[in-house]
Amino acid sequence: MLVWAAWLLWLALPLHAAPAPWYYWRSKVDGARVCAQTSPGPGWERDSPPYEGPGCQPRTKVIVVPMR
């Protein structure tokens, strides 16, 4: 019974996964910048805070205007 419960828990783990954030990465060689979720390689360093939207787009701001 314990093995069955552990197996079900193991199957449920991917359900809680969140998408990876996007970052700007700067080349150590020529200073070029690219947007990616993971490092393009060993010659790159992270150059920005994480973005939540795809392609390094900032989160969409929603403004709610109350009706009178």
- 55-63's contacts with Cβ under 8 Å and 24+ in sequence apart are 55/22, 56/22, 56/23, 56/24, 57/22
In the chain, the amino acid numbered 57 is Q
The model's pTM is 0.61
What digits encode the pLDDT tens for the residues 6-49? 776 776 666 667 788 899 999 999 999 999 999 999 999 999 99
55, 48 contact by CB (below 8 A): no
CB atoms within 10 A of CB 22: 19
